[in-house]
Amino acid sequence: MSRSVVVIGGGLIELSAALHLRRADAGVRVTVLERAHVGAAASGASAAGVRVMGRDPAERALALESLKRWPDLDRELEGRTGYRRGGGLRVALDDDEWRQVPRTVAEQRADGVPLELVDAATARRLAPGLAPDCRGAVHCPIDGQAEALATVRAFAAAARRAGARLEEGVDAGALVAEGGRLVAVVGKDGQRRPCDVAIVAAGSWSGPLLATVGVKLPLRGRPLQILLTDSAPPALASVLGCFGRPLSLKQLADGAYLIGGGWPARIVDEAANRWEVLDDSVRGSLDVARSVFPPLIERTLARSWAGIEAFTPDDLPVLGPVSGTNGLLVAAGFSGHGFALVPAVGDILARLALDLDPLRHLWSGLGARFPS
């Protein structure tokens, strides 16, 4: 008898899991339940950075594995993600910051992250227009960027073509476990969907759902702000960051600049995915971006938005099976940096659901640290 898997959430990790499940076993029945429409929450609102530089040691192997797949992802998905590998550049603007850089570079290199220290002149060649007080930078040639909504659409189309069923407008209300095994997912419409495995990857809404089977996962929803400027001639190929200042700056294919870095918005209604951009955050983000990359002074703000991200107490995701409930997998709490990990995380979840080699060496440090 064929296996049935219900994937809860319609973001990128869930779509990647559904795709990998069908590719690994054409007989498995895969249903994705999304409360609104695919990509409506954090995945579609993401700044879409694809990086390994600066990650926690527990995530580095997973990020390196994912970054191997990004250059071929358009071909693999038969769709467009907007991926570009322009490198990542993190600059230091004062002497104290610059003196501390070699230590963090050595630590990351020891884990296989290809970083290089560059002087101020080289940094300005990589990113013309950098602030004159730049002391130097760290360059990661394999970092890059993609387009959030384009990537969501590409994964969704590929999952559908592979045979996964995507049910939009279906809000999962409860998990059902019997005798220590997950047996069904019940929608808020009352419909019961029997399954052999459930994958809970519903972002900040994962906690209440897991609580229905007694699993406590300390997630906190945090809305992160993104700013978009008007278009300008091409000038910045790298993804630009800065030591000691919250910044993630990219120039998109159409010339607009995308500015992130973890600046907060305000939750209006978390259950309804409603948020509000804060004027202080907008001003603060623009001030930092312009101080690091002065050409932005000439740009005007075209649009702003936010995505509610699920954060854990240690800012690292929980990934893997839930102890005490067979057939229950969780992938949640990516804390604003899960976009780049999507190819490998989806593969891992599919392998776990199908009892295949789970590639545990990639995620052993991200196991179920909190669920109980």
- For residue 11, pLDDT over 90 is answered with yes
Looking at the structure, tell me whether residues 227 and 361 fall in a common domain: no
Q: Which amino acid is at 173?
A: G
- For residue 368, pLDDT over 80 is answered with no
> For residue 208, what are the contacts with CB-CB under 8 A and spacing of at least 6?
none
Mean pLDDT of 294-303: 97
Q: Is residue 77 part of a domain?
A: no
Q: How confident is the model at residue 1 (pLDDT cuts 50, 70, 90)?
A: low
Q: Is residue 31 part of a domain?
A: yes
Looking at the structure, tell me whether residues 118 and 261 fall in a common domain: yes
Pick the closest to residue 236 from 248, 226, 244 (CA basis).
248
Q: How confident is the model at residue 272 (pLDDT cuts 50, 70, 90)?
A: confident
- Which residue's entry shows tokens 């890059």? 144
8 A C-beta contact, residue 30 and residue 10: no
Mean pLDDT of 301-311: 95
pLDDT digits (tens, 9 = 90+) for 100-153: 999 999 999 999 999 999 999 999 999 999 999 999 999 999 999 999 999 999
Looking at the structure, tell me whether residues 160 and 302 fall in a common domain: no
Mean pLDDT of 57-82: 98
Q: Which two tokens mark 21?
A: 């499940």
> Which pLDDT belongs to residue 112?
98
Check which CATH number belongs to the domain holding 44 and give it. 3.50.50.60
Q: What one-character-per-residue DSSP string does 67-87 give?
A: HHHGGGHHHHHTS----B---
Looking at the structure, tell me whether residues 112 and 190 fall in a common domain: no
Q: How confident is the model at residue 284 (pLDDT cuts 50, 70, 90)?
A: very high
218/205 Cα distance (integer angstroms): 11
Looking at the structure, tell me whether residues 229 and 286 fall in a common domain: yes
> Which pLDDT belongs to residue 372?
60
Q: Among 311, 336, 353, identify where a domain stops.
A: 311
Q: Which two tokens mark 22?
A: 């069908």
Looking at the structure, tell me whether residues 239 and 361 fall in a common domain: no
8 A C-beta contact, residue 32 and residue 193: no
- 357: domain range? 4-49+149-218+314-366
Q: Among 273, 290, 311, identify where a domain stops.
A: 311
DSSP state of 322: P
Looking at the structure, tell me whether residues 192 and 243 fall in a common domain: no
63/341 Cα distance (integer angstroms): 6
Q: How confident is the model at residue 212 (pLDDT cuts 50, 70, 90)?
A: very high
- pLDDT above 70: percentage of residues in the chain: 98
Lowest average pLDDT, out of 63-67, 136-140, 243-247, 368-372, goes to: 368-372
Number of domains in the chain: 2
Q: Is residue 30 part of a domain?
A: yes
Looking at the structure, tell me whether residues 42 and 114 fall in a common domain: no
Q: Is residue 74 part of a domain?
A: no
Q: Which residues of 68-92 are buried (b: 16+ CB within 10 A; e: fewer)?
A: eebeebbeebebebbbbbbbbbbbb
Check which CATH number belongs to the domain holding 296 and give it. 3.30.9.10
Q: Among 311, 330, 354, identify where a domain stops.
A: 311
355/78 Cα distance (integer angstroms): 27
- For residue 93, pLDDT over 90 is answered with yes
Looking at the structure, tell me whether residues 306 and 336 fall in a common domain: no
> Which pLDDT belongs to residue 8?
97
Looking at the structure, tell me whether residues 183 and 301 fall in a common domain: no
pLDDT digits (tens, 9 = 90+) for 164-211: 999 999 999 999 999 999 999 999 989 999 999 999 999 988 999 999
Looking at the structure, tell me whether residues 198 and 328 fall in a common domain: yes
Q: Is residue 275 part of a domain?
A: yes
Q: How confident is the model at residue 213 (pLDDT cuts 50, 70, 90)?
A: very high
> Which pLDDT belongs to residue 40?
82
Q: Is residue 288 part of a domain?
A: yes
Q: Is residue 41 part of a domain?
A: yes
Looking at the structure, tell me whether residues 253 and 323 fall in a common domain: no
> Which pLDDT belongs to residue 195?
98
